[in-house]
Amino acid sequence: MFALPKKQLIIFVIFALVVLTMPLWMSPLGAAYPGLLQKFAIYGLLALGFNILFGLTGYLSFGHAAFLGVGSYTAVWSFKLLTMDAVPAIILAAILSGLFALLIGYVSLRRSGIYFSILTLAFAQMSYNLAYSVLTPITNGETSLQLSLQDPRIIDLTFMERGQGLPTVSLLGIDMSGYSGFYFCAVVLIMGFFIAQKITISPFGLMLKGIKSNQNRMKYTGFNTRPYMLSAFVISGIYAGIAGGLLAVTDPLAGAERMQWTASGEVVLMTVLGGAGTLFGPIMGAWIVKYFENIFSAFNDTVLHNIFAFVPEGFREWVVSCAGLFVGEGWHLTLGLVFVIVVVFLPGGLMEGYRRIVSKFGAGKPNQPNSSAPDSPAPVKQPAE
Amino acid sequence: MSTSDHNVVLHVADVHMRFGGLHALADVDLEIEEGKTHAIIGPNGAGKSTLLNVCVGRLTPTSGAVIFDGQIITGMKPHEINQAGVARVFQTPEIFPELSVLENVMAPAFAKRDGAFKLNFLHNLGKEAEIREEAAHFIEDVGMTAQIDAHSGALSRGDKRRLELAMCLIQHPRLLLLDEPTAGMSRHDTNTTIELLKKIKERGMTKVIIEHDMHVVFSLADKISVLAQGRIIAEGTPDEVRNDPRVQEAYLGGATE
């Protein structure tokens, strides 16, 4: 049940190594600080889960941020009411976001295509507005849900005295900030990757691909497609909920903006950028987006002056002001351009680029499972009898 | 088994189908006998495809019922009708173009074995040796072993049709419905398909064929029903139908393309 075929096992081991050694290989890129590494792991998990729905079944949810938000709120409430330990928070986040996904999915999956996307978007915006205003007692609205000195924390406080100042999130006594927080998120991401791999190579995964390929045929083949879709939706929602929970673990704070439609759109962007339908693509997409968001946005004119120090004086000013458009506040512009270039030239995302390189250099046999080959029409002959 | 004659696999009982003002099917009563190949012919717009759609649950008739194997299947969902034992080949091949030929044939085998839904996401597809072998066997049956790992979207139309046939056959359906199985095919592909269908016939599978091509109809059918303007105007053996003056007027003589 928990075994992988050899080829998948190799991929899994390589992936685990890549993630766990991130602090090493990210440091030349200037991204090896815990806060960003945690985001890499968390948003990687979010995109990975999103891909189980979008990549395998082709159903584009535009409301995944809602589950992220539910996960965060649940985790913070778990810190406030029960314990500062990370594990119960994550488990509760998974359960609640799963139930929430079941509800939203049950209604949204009555429609397909653009209508499904609009329904999920509507539900997510509804959740956002509820969290922002109506549900203030639960979400603390605008000010975000935070820990306070008066929190009951029933489990913690039965075993120890209330300490001075705000407590921190921990895992069996290990503080969850900094690198330990990253490693916790990384382990969850690796576990998520394993399950995603299992799904991809299971009969269930084949059925999801069948639904993406030809839902009509699935029905006339005897499959009840609705529960398949709903399962994929809930699994994907649970991934998002866990990601939301991890956000709260690394920083015990939950705000409504986490549920806004821009956050939902970001996941779509990550998945498409990296390559929908592939295992590693969406994670890579998430890393790239978060890298741009945190590194490019931090560049200012002084940094640019240092980079372009080799350019002759006078001309340098011009170069810096041009480049300045693409960094700092303008990092969205760079990301947008990268996205446009990828979508136009590599419709299968960056993973398609990788596949093309591999097949070009003959390292493997060329296979493009995502590109639908043109229908070669057989000569049409009308019977003359 | 509520029907008196247990040899009847499918009974279309007094079915009417109206689309607004159009009376697409009028009082259609049809009995398909076990093990027989029953052809339904008729000019364009006679209601042949509507009749088939009523049988597989794509359309619910305005009145009347479809009884399969003693069970009323009108109003049932397509997947329930398939699970009951009805498989269908479409006019334009309906396959999974993004999947390989092998995966295309494996999927229906899972539907047969595991039912309409199974949450088996921790199983390993690679360990399903039995289903894999069965799929390979049926792929061989339709003569596509060489293309077993091919990307099915790139197949020729004739090959897609044969693939779709394998997808239906692997489910061992009690009733196989074929909607113009040779439409748009070259003469060579048509003949291959006829041979294939004859081979299936020898296994005693009940079939309903909708067909334009008289060559196909007369080489396969045990019984023919002629549909014109939503009504069955004649029924009988190929010879009887061929010599029926009403049929000649409505179809063979009058409306041939």
Same domain, B62 and B100: no
Same domain, A19 and A43: yes
Asked, for residue A375, whether it belongs to a domain, the answer is no
Q: Measured between CB atoms, which of A218, A376, A382 is closest to B257? A: A382
Same domain, B46 and B96: no
Contacts of B135 in chain A (CB under 8 A): none
* Model pLDDT, residue B44: 80
Same domain, B8 and B68: yes
Same domain, A105 and A243: yes
Same domain, A89 and A176: yes
Considering chain A, what percentage of its residues have pLDDT values greater than 90? 48
Alpha carbon distance B163, B149 (integer Å): 12
Which residue of chain A is at minimal alpha-carbon distance from B105? A221
Are A204 and B121 a contacting pair, CB within 8 Å? yes
Q: Measured between CB atoms, which of A203, A220, A372 is closest to B94? A: A220
Asked, for residue A385, whether it belongs to a domain, the answer is no
Asked, for residue A372, whether it belongs to a domain, the answer is no
Asked, for residue A383, whether it belongs to a domain, the answer is no
Locus of tokens 């299947």: B73
Q: Measured between CB atoms, which of A2, A201, A210 is closest to B99? A: A210
Alpha carbon distance A5, B29 (integer Å): 54
Same domain, B54 and B70: yes
Same domain, B135 and B209: no
Same domain, A285 and A303: no
* Burial class, B91, CB count within 10 angstroms (exposed 0-12 / middle 13-18 / buried 19+): middle
Same domain, B44 and B94: no
Same domain, A95 and A156: yes
ipTM of the modeled complex:
0.88
Same domain, A99 and A155: yes
Which CATH number belongs to the domain containing residue A269 in this structure? 1.10.3470
Same domain, A322 and A246: no
DSSP 8-state assignment for residue B124? -
Contacts of A198 in chain B (CB under 8 A): 121-122, 124
Same domain, B52 and B123: no
Residue of A2, A223, A278, A382 to mutate, testing the B interface (most B Cβ within 10 Å of its Cβ): A223
Asked, for residue B194, whether it belongs to a domain, the answer is no
Domain of residue A76, residue span: 9-294
Are A109 and A230 a contacting pair, CB within 8 Å? yes
Which residue of chain B is at minimal alpha-carbon distance from A235? B121
* Burial class, A88, CB count within 10 angstroms (exposed 0-12 / middle 13-18 / buried 19+): middle
Locus of tokens 């890549």: A18
Same domain, A186 and A234: yes
Report which of A18, A120, A102 is spatially closest to residue A65, judged by C-alpha positions.
Answer: A120
Asked, for residue B198, whether it belongs to a domain, the answer is no
Asked, for residue A370, whether it belongs to a domain, the answer is no
- Among residues 87-116 of chain A, which lie with CB inside 8 Å of chain B? none
Which CATH number belongs to the domain containing residue B247 in this structure? 3.40.50.300
- The residues, any chain, with a CB within 8 Å of residue A14's CB and separated by 6 or more, are none
Asked, for residue B184, whether it belongs to a domain, the answer is no
Domain of residue B216, residue span: 1-82+205-257
Asked, for residue A99, whether it belongs to a domain, the answer is yes
Q: How many domains does chain A contain in total?
A: 2
- The pLDDT-based confidence of A93 (bands split at 50, 70, 90) is very high
Asked, for residue A119, whether it belongs to a domain, the answer is yes
Contacts of B118 in chain A (CB under 8 A): 203-204
Same domain, A87 and A119: yes
CA dist B6 to B3, B11, B34, B60, B71, Å?
Answer: 6, 11, 9, 25, 12
Q: How many domains does chain B contain in total?
A: 2
Same domain, A194 and A312: no
Half-sphere exposure of A74 (CA within 13 A, CB side): 28
Task: Indicate yes or no: CB of A206 within 8 angstroms of CB of B110.
Answer: yes
Q: What is the pLDDT along chain B (257 residues), one digit of tens a residue?
A: 444 444 888 999 899 999 888 888 888 999 999 888 999 988 888 888 889 888 888 888 999 999 998 889 988 999 999 999 999 998 888 999 999 999 999 999 999 999 889 888 888 888 888 999 999 999 998 889 999 999 999 998 888 888 999 999 999 999 999 988 887 778 888 888 888 888 888 887 899 999 878 888 888 899 999 888 888 888 899 888 888 888 777 665 554 43
Same domain, B73 and B98: no
Interface check for B99 against chain A (CB to CB < 8 A): the answer is yes
